[in-house]
A and B are shown apart, each in its own frame.
Chain A
Amino acid sequence: QKEVEQNSGPLSVPEGAIASLNCTYSDRGSQSFFWYRQYSGKSPELIMFIYSNGDKEDGRFTAQLNKASQYVSLLIRDSQPSDSATYLCAVRATGANSKLTFGKGITLSVRP
């Protein structure tokens, strides 16, 4: 059973702080990693994807991947109240015909 685990929330940070969202996965053959943001009552929207070990930056967002530790994280710098949402980690393994396995998500609250 391929599993994707996200550390339990909710996570609360003050405005302007760095929010760190973590995700671990069980299938060592996983190749692609995605972060989606989901506002309450809405559908998920893609924030970032990462395939290679290391960091990938896009504006205030940085995805970090460590395949040896089977760990992927999302850092949000200068957190804003508009970042308050649930963040879903999704993983696709090699040969999985593009199917994604999702974590349960972690809810982030940014306090003004």
Chain B
Amino acid sequence: DGGITQSPKYLFRKEGQNVTLSCEQNLNHDAMYWYRQDPGQGLRLIYYSQIVNDFQKGDIAEGYSVSREKKESFPLTVTSAQKNPTAFYLCASSMWASGSTDTQYFGPGTRLTVL
């Protein structure tokens, strides 16, 4: 059963805490991405990774950190430096094919709420 899994589905964080969101894929995709979605907004890119042990900042990386130690896994840590972390977090993956054919597929998402 191939796909992208994210856990937990819901996460509650107290002020000042770091939390880590999990993303795993068994599609053998090279590239993985983290997006944030706020109500009524499109998706904004936080970080992405093309290969293991390498990742790049997206448009809104401040207050977040990632690692890519395995091809299948791309966890996102929301640090206490992120001032407004309440949002819907989406992980995606793609083959990273050359040219225009690369297509991103999304996991089910994690909804983070700061208490």
Chain A residues proximal to chain B, CB less than 8 Å: 4, 31-32, 34, 36, 42-46, 49, 51, 88, 90, 92, 97-100, 102-105
Q: Which 3 A-B pairs have the closest CB atoms?
A: A102-B42, A32-B100, A43-B106
Q: For residue B48, which residues in chain A have a CB less than 8 angstroms away from its CB?
A: 97, 99
Q: Is the CB of A102 within 8 A of B94?
A: no
Q: Is the CB of B103 within 8 A of A46?
A: yes
Q: For residue B104, which residues in chain A have a CB less than 8 angstroms away from its CB?
A: 34, 46, 98, 100
Kindly name the residue among B41, B43, B96, B105 whose own CB sees the greatest number of chain A CB atoms within 10 A. Answer: B43
Kindly name the residue among B40, B50, B101, B103 whose own CB sees the greatest number of chain A CB atoms within 10 A. Answer: B103
Given known pairs A43-B106, A44-B90, A51-B100, the reply for A97 and B41 (CB within 8 Å) is no
Q: For residue A46, which residues in chain B have a CB less than 8 angstroms away from its CB?
A: 103-105
Q: Is the CB of B108 within 8 A of A43?
A: yes
Instruction: Say yes or no: is B45 at the interface (Cβ < 8 Å to chain A).
Output: yes
Q: How far is the CA of A43 from the CA of B105 in the complex (A)?
A: 10
For A44, give its contact among B40, B43, B45, B102 (CB under 8 Å): B43
Q: For residue B90, which residues in chain A have a CB less than 8 angstroms away from its CB?
A: 43-44
Q: Is the CB of A97 within 8 A of B50?
A: yes
Closest to A36 in B: B106
Instruction: Say yes or no: is B107 at the interface (Cβ < 8 Å to chain A).
Output: yes
Chain B 38-82 interface mask (CB, 8 Å, partner A; 1/0):
001111110010100000101000000000000000000000000
Q: For residue A49, which residues in chain B have a CB less than 8 angstroms away from its CB?
A: 103
Q: How far is the CA of A43 from the CA of B92 in the complex (A)?
A: 10
Q: For residue A51, which residues in chain B have a CB less than 8 angstroms away from its CB?
A: 100-101
Q: For residue B43, which residues in chain A have a CB less than 8 angstroms away from its CB?
A: 44, 88, 90, 100, 102
